[in-house]
Amino acid sequence: MAEISIAAPPASPTEAADHAALHRTLFIALAALLVVLPFIPVIGYPFFLMKVLCFALFACAFNLMLGYGGLLSFGHAAYFGFASYVSAYTAKHWGLTPEASILLGTASGAILGLAFGSLAIRRQGIYFAMITLALAQMVYFFSLQTPRFTGGEDGIQAVPRNALLGVLPLSNDTVTYYLVAAIFMAGILLIYRIIHSPFGQVLKAIRDNEARAVSLGYRVNQYKLAVFVLSASLAGLAGATKAVAVQLASLTDVHWSMSGEVVLMTLVGGMGTVFGPIVGAAVIISMQNFLAGLGAWVTIVQGVIFVICVLVFREGIVGVIGKWLKKPL
Amino acid sequence: MTFRMNRRSLMAGAAATAFSARSMAQAQQPINVKIGVLNDRSGLYADLTGEGSVIAARMAVEDFRAAANGINVQIVSADHQNKPDVGANIARQWYDNDAVDVITDVPTSSVGLAVNQITREKNRIHLNSGSATSDLTGAQCSPNTIHWTYDTYMLSQGTGGAMVKAGGDTWFFLTADYAFGHALERDTTAVVQRAGGRVLGGVRTPFPGTDFSSFLLQAQASRAKVIGLANAGGDTVNSIKQAAEFGITAGGQKLAGLLVFVVDVHALGLQTAQGLVLTETFYWDLNDNTRAWSRRFGAQRNGFMPTMVQAGVYSSTLHYLKAVAATKSKDPAQVMAWMKANGTDDPLFGQGTIRQDGRKIHPAYLFEVKKPSESKGPWDYYKLLATIPGEEAFRPLNAGVCPLVRA
Amino acid sequence: MFELLGIPPQALFGQLLLGLINGSFYAILSLGLAVIFGLLNIINFTHGAQYMMGAFIAWMLLNWAGVGYWPALLLAPIIAGISGVIIERTLLKRLYHLDHLYGLLLTFGLALIIQGLFRNQFGSSGLPYQIPAELRGGQNLGFMFLPNYRAWVVVASLVVCLATWFVIEKTRLGAYLRAATENPTLTQAFGINVPLLITLTYGFGVGLAAFAGVLAAPIYSVNPNMGADLIIVVFAVVVIGGMGSILGAIVTGFGLGLIEGLTKVFYPEASATVIFIIMAIVLLVKPAGLFGRAA
């Protein structure tokens, strides 16, 4: 996995402090942007924004594992989609409040991640990817076979947006948007914290040279499992939030092409960068949204972007910008 | 525009409400109507809906001479990829941002139900032609939706009932393993049993599938007289093709296609599809009117003949425009009331009515696919076996569970 | 007559035979993937699209040039193979020094483009392609009616698979190939044109996919999406057999066809998923696949 283009040069303590300051500024700018976005015409449509934020969080969760753990999962749709079913189901049929159903969804992602992760981390590289794919296919099969729970190909439609904490009504799209934005910010700040913790440092050491990490006495598998579960939980958080935000959980969310899409988002934005997956998700979702009128051409355009990214743009959008600035973003 | 109306209302006097101001304003200037054709433009159902449905909607606008009748029509279209999330997203965006007044076509039941839901929430109009699920006028019926062309009840009624009457009293189902397939199997089973037939068994096939030979052999081993294909699109095409290959049709068992479109028969070729019995509500070669219209359609569509779904888009758009012109309004409640109160009349489906639950009523036709020797030219595929009056073809008003009916 | 789990043995034979026929497609397709992976280290996600191209080329040859099934069986793989050579020369060769992931992503993108283009051109409800006159009809085997064409599919794929295996394992050319797989630099130093070998191998792998496409054209509908879902299954077959293992791909292809055939009888709903269950089990027990060597 050493040849994956990840822009992460080792930084001296002063440089690290410098980068941290830059990141803090960027996070504040991002938060400010999230506050004003709904007031901008065309892209300020709350529904569209919520979708972008949910997928951005999903891509960040995926990136935590691939970019910082060096683990390519080809089955991340399982955690995203299953959590979205759990959240939609509990909101619709048990009448749970949004925070409760989102928490339950996230927990289901975590449990699934623990189960699948403990199987998958025994293998490496392409075999790891294939096991995650196989396990995700089983989740898809389960979803297809239990229409009582998932609604089959209809999905769970018209998920109610119950009052937050039982008091704050979410009937207004803009109010819901700010809830989603808050969850999103909390999610990526948590990811940022994980990456820069001692735990994150060990992860990067494992990614760059697993044998050395073993020889230094780290229990590599426990670290891998931990990052797997964290990533699956955050993917679950994204899926669960999406179900409440767009009021729909469907088979699309658990299908293998969704696992492929999240790889695409991360690749386009920049693997192993803090802000890359957010940009990547925004680009891909906007493309699907604004090019919908082109019909079959959408898949062609998407394919061309894939090819161009792989051939000339491997660091992704944010990776390239980071290179110009000579700072990791 | 809202601003200008408000000023007019001020000038008209304090007593004028915003509503009457709007209708006044529209009496003087053309009404702008935006129609969204939402369907599959790249997948399995692109040929039977897709661009053809957009052409059909455009033809309705032309034939109605909308501009001369004081209506400015704009048609937009999008691809929902047969995914409810994509469809819901587009519908919401159309209603919220693009001022679309009516969404038409919407094949694939799961997407149809999603759009039905959103249309009701946003209070616009949904004229569904492409979906099969009878839930649209049953449990999930809506005052904002009309289900135009066909549904699972009518398909099973037509094909199921007729097959039993013709002696096919034992059945085996090949059912696509998803809600639509299950609904079709359930409805047809009821019809077959009511007519005195028996269902010997069935098999649920993964969706979408390519190889059906294994399931067909199971059907063959059941010795049922009729093999009911409760599937659609590519699944149906492949199962019919393979049934011919494995000598199942030659062995005396009959295939009943529960949802087969004329473009499917075109893809199969007569050699393979001959003898297949199916139900549709429209065929291009029914009478002079349908022939004339279909030739115009074909000229814009590389010679492809229209499917019943595309015909339904034409017919529903036409009726909608009539309603807008008559009520001089595009207020959904008014327009829907007019459409339900006044009978439909168009060259494709003839005269028909729209029921309280949103079901459009017109006759259904039982067809048999011709032998190659019987076909006189391209697209000459069907032989009419029977005409089923609208009242018999569709589910009786009181048999559905539509809450609107009780009211 | 005894019955096995409620299924009469004759019916079971029939189902096994059908499984074998489906296995033939898996075998040819996974063989192509394995050959490509073995030498290029690229997971060719375009394989499904290239299988679809094979079927479409056969259809175009027939309808636009009047060329029938038998010549198409040879011509379509050659034409598709040439397109593969172009893809390798212009795109893939830029990726050899990178991680597997990039090859997979690039070919995934190519598959989207090819499928989109065919969908735009030919629509998506499928085009008819008749079974050649020589192979119409079938044999009554007592327990089932076996169409001649299906029998031909099994024979043709067995021959192609075995011939490929023979060339790679038993001939001089195959020895070069294997040497280039082991150590391309050293092989090059011995005066063998390794880049050319790589290009031709990719072309050959694509040709195999197209060959399967032509075989499939008369029984499945010729449809732009015909390879899209198949590719994931064939992937699983290759992984189970052991990435890059020629024999593994062939044996696993036929074997999984059989297992899938049985699933269709006992638990039809799961028949599309059973392969993934097997894949997960195999990878956990035998990480390099059934026939693979540990990396």
Q: Which residues have CB under 8 Å from A167's CB, separation 6+? A: none
Position with higher pLDDT, A88 vs B245 = A88
Q: What is the pLDDT of residues A257-272, one digit of tens each?
A: 899 889 989 988 998 8
Place of tokens 């029998």: C151
| Mean pLDDT value of segment A172-181 | 90
Comparing CB atoms, the residue among B213, B217, B237 nearest residue C126 is B237
Q: Is B206 helix (H, G, I), strand (E, B) or coil?
A: coil
Q: Which residues have CB under 8 Å from B390's CB, separation 6+? A: B352, B353, B361, B362, B363, B364
- Interchain contact, B42 vs C229, CB within 8 Å: no
Mean pLDDT, chain A, rounded, equals 88
Domain limits of chain C? 18-102+146-285
Position with higher pLDDT, A287 vs B131 = B131
Distance CA A167, CA A164 (A): 6
Comparing CB atoms, the residue among A264, A267, A307 nearest residue C110 is A307
Domains of chain B: 2-150+288-362 (3.40.50.2300), 153-280+364-393 (3.40.50.2300)
What pairing do the DSSP bridges indicate for beta strands C138-140 and C145-147? antiparallel
Q: Does residue B26 carry a pLDDT above 80?
A: no
DSSP C131-198: PPGGG-SEEE-SS-EEEHHHHHHHHHHHHHHHHHHHHHHHSHHHHHHHHHHH-HHHHHHTT--HHHHH
Distance CA B125, CA B95 (A): 10
Q: What is the helix, strand, coil percentage profile of chain A, to 5?
A: 75, 0, 25
- Interchain contact, B89 vs A246, CB within 8 Å: yes
Q: What are phi and psi of C152, to 5 degrees?
A: -60, -40
Q: Which residues have CB under 8 Å from B186's CB, separation 6+? A: none
State how far Cα B384 lies from the chain centre. 20
C228 in contact with chain A, both atoms CB, cutoff 8 A: no
In the structure, what pLDDT confidence band is assigned to residue A3 with cuts at 50, 70 and 90? Answer: very low
Q: Is the peptide bond before B208 cis (omega within 30 degrees of 0)?
A: yes
Residues of chain C short of pLDDT 50, as ranges, are 1-2, 295
Q: What are phi and psi of C131, to 5 degrees?
A: -70, 135
Structure tokens at B84: 């409810």
Chain A contact probe: residue of B51, B54, B79 with most A CBs at under 10 A: B79
Comparing CB atoms, the residue among C22, C144, C221 nearest residue B238 is C221
Chain C contact probe: residue of B213, B231, B381 with most C CBs at under 10 A: B213
Mean pLDDT, chain B, rounded, equals 88
- Neighbouring CB atoms inside 10 A of B206's CB total 22
Interface size B-C, in CB pairs within 8 Å, comes to: 99
pLDDT for the residue numbered C264: 86
B79 in contact with chain C, both atoms CB, cutoff 8 A: no
Structure tokens at B202: 């069935």
Q: Does residue A183 carry a pLDDT above 60?
A: yes
What pairing do the DSSP bridges indicate for beta strands B277-280 and C145-147? unpaired
Residue B305 zone, left/alpha/beta (φ > 0; ψ -120 to 50; rest): beta
Residues of A whose CB is below 8 A from B93: 45, 47-48, 289
| Mean pLDDT value of segment A3-11 | 50
Least Cα distance to A243 among A123, A74, A44, A105 occurs for A105
- Neighbouring CB atoms inside 10 A of A195's CB total 18
Q: Is C4 helix (H, G, I), strand (E, B) or coil?
A: strand
Q: What is the helix, strand, coil percentage profile of chain C, to 5?
A: 75, 5, 25
For A66, what's the count of Cα atoms within 13 Å in the CB-facing half-sphere? 34
DSSP B374: G
Q: What are phi and psi of B114, to 5 degrees?
A: -65, -45
Chain A nearest-CA distance from C201, in A, is 21
- Interchain contact, A47 vs B89, CB within 8 Å: yes
Distance CA B4, CA C237 (A): 67
Q: Residue B378: exposed, middle, or buried by beta-carbon count in 10 A (0-12, 13-18, 19+)?
A: exposed
Where do the DSSP E strands lie in chain C?
A: 138-140, 145-147
- Interchain contact, A153 vs B177, CB within 8 Å: no
Chain A nearest-CA distance from B368, in A, is 31
Q: What is the pLDDT of residues B198-222, one digit of tens each?
A: 999 999 988 778 889 889 988 988 8
B221 → chain C, closest CA residue: C11
Interfacial B residues in 228-247 facing C (CB < 8 Å): 233-234, 237-238, 241-242, 245-247
Distance CA C150, CA A267 (A): 43
Q: Is C11 helix (H, G, I), strand (E, B) or coil?
A: helix
Q: Which residues have CB under 8 Å from C144's CB, separation 6+? A: B217, C10, C11, C13, C14, C17
pLDDT for the residue numbered A11: 60
pLDDT for the residue numbered B28: 56
Distance CA C169, CA C275 (A): 28
Contact present, B237 and C221 (Cβ < 8 Å): yes
- Neighbouring CB atoms inside 10 A of C52's CB total 29
- Chain A residues with at least one Cβ partner in B under 8 Å: 42, 45, 47-48, 51, 144, 147, 151-155, 157-158, 246-248, 250, 252-253, 288-289, 292-296, 298-299
Comparing CB atoms, the residue among C18, C230, C269 nearest residue B206 is C269
- Amino acid of residue B100: V
Q: Which residues have CB under 8 Å from C182's CB, separation 6+? A: none
- Amino acid of residue B332: P
Residue A70 zone, left/alpha/beta (φ > 0; ψ -120 to 50; rest): left
Distance CA B340, CA B311 (A): 19
Residues of C whose CB is below 8 A from B268: 128
- Using CA atoms, how far residue B68 sits from B29, B54, B63, in Å, is 12, 21, 11
Contact present, B229 and B258 (Cβ < 8 Å): yes
Residues of A whose CB is below 8 A from B114: 154-155, 157, 248
- Using CA atoms, how far residue C58 sits from A193, C109, C214, C252, in Å, is 57, 24, 6, 28
A126 → chain C, closest CA residue: C100
Q: Is C124 helix (H, G, I), strand (E, B) or coil?
A: coil
- Amino acid of residue A19: H
Contact present, A304 and A296 (Cβ < 8 Å): no
- Using CA atoms, how far residue B186 sits from A201, B134, B162, B202, B206, in Å, is 58, 12, 17, 11, 17
In three state form, how does the secondary structure of A93-157 look?
A: HCCCCHHHHHHHHHHHHHHHHHHHHHHHCCCCHHHHHHHHHHHHHHHHHHHHHCHHHHCHHHCEC
Residues of B whose CB is below 8 A from C221: 234, 237-238, 241, 267
In the structure, what pLDDT confidence band is assigned to residue B5 with cuts at 50, 70 and 90? Answer: very low
- Amino acid of residue B380: D
Q: Does residue B337 carry a pLDDT above 90?
A: yes
Cα dihedral A295, A297, A302, A303 sign: positive
- Chain C residues with at least one Cβ partner in B under 8 Å: 11, 14-15, 18-19, 21-22, 116, 119, 123-128, 130-131, 138, 144-145, 147, 149-150, 219-221, 223, 225-226, 229-230, 261, 264-265, 268-269, 271-273
pLDDT for the residue numbered B312: 96
Residues of B whose CB is below 8 A from A252: 83-86
Distance CA A116, CA A77 (A): 13
C96 → chain A, closest CA residue: A3
DSSP B262-307: HHHHHHH-HHHHTT-EEEES--TTSSHHHHHHHHHHHHTTTTPPPP
Contact present, C279 and C291 (Cβ < 8 Å): no
Q: Is B3 helix (H, G, I), strand (E, B) or coil?
A: helix
C94 in contact with chain A, both atoms CB, cutoff 8 A: yes
pLDDT for the residue numbered C5: 54
pLDDT for the residue numbered B275: 87
- Interchain contact, A157 vs B114, CB within 8 Å: yes
Helices (H), A196-296: 198-208, 210-215, 220-246, 256-269, 276-290
Q: Does residue A63 carry a pLDDT above 50?
A: yes
Distance CA C107, CA C231 (A): 12
| Mean pLDDT value of segment B267-294 | 92
Position with higher pLDDT, C106 vs A298 = C106
Residues of C whose CB is below 8 A from A298: 116
Distance CA B102, CA B77 (A): 12
DSSP C96: T
Q: What is the helix, strand, coil percentage profile of chain B, to 5?
A: 45, 20, 35
Contact present, C255 and C275 (Cβ < 8 Å): no
Q: Is B76 helix (H, G, I), strand (E, B) or coil?
A: strand
- Neighbouring CB atoms inside 10 A of A2's CB total 9
Percent of chain B's residues with pLDDT above 70: 93
